[in-house]
Structure 1
Amino acid sequence: MLAFVAAVLFLIALIFELAGISLAVITATVLVTAGLLCMALFLAGVGGSARRFGR
């Protein structure tokens, strides 16, 4: 799930960068940083599936 959030943030950051858009505090740099944070959490195993069936 976090990987999808990161992908969406990166897409929005790309659109902001290409269009030259900046909304007050939300810039392309902020969105890239948030996407990298989501990717780091995903790779660390945070936000994984709550359904675990062990044997």
Structure 2
Amino acid sequence: MLAFVAAALFVIAFIIRVTETSTEMIFSPTSLMLAGLAFLALHSAGVGSGWSARRSSTRRSGSRR
């Protein structure tokens, strides 16, 4: 999910850059790119991946030692 947010920020930054749109300082292409990189780093770190810390501890009958 965070990768999709990062991709959307990269697209918005690219469109602003290509069209040379004058925007406020907080929405500059560089700041959007840095925000996208932050979301991509969070995605790579596993934040928001949807996995659960709780797992059932059932064992298969054939894997007992």
Structure 2-normalised TM-score?
Answer: 0.73
Residue matched to 1:39: 40
Give, in angstroms, the shift of residue 17 of structure 1: 0.5
Aligned length: 55
User: Which range moves more in the overlay, 19-28 or 35-44?
Assistant: 19-28
Could you list the structure 1 runs, at least 4 aligned residues long, displaced by more than 4 angstroms after superposition: 50-53
Cα 1:16–1:53, aligned 2, differ >3 Å: closer, same or farther? same
Give, in angstroms, the shift of residue 48 of structure 1: 1.3
| Identity among equivalent pairs (%) | 44
Cα 1:23–1:52, aligned 2, differ >3 Å: closer, same or farther? same
Residue matched to 2:59: none
Structure 1-normalised TM-score?
Answer: 0.85
Superposition pairs of residues 3-18 of structure 1, within 5 angstroms: 3-18=3-18
State the Cα RMSD in Å. Answer: 1.7
Structure 2 runs not aligned, ≥5 long:
57-65
Give, in angstroms, the shift of residue 21 of structure 1: 1.5
Deviations 1:4-53 (A, max 9, x none): 00000000010000001132121000110000000000000011115577
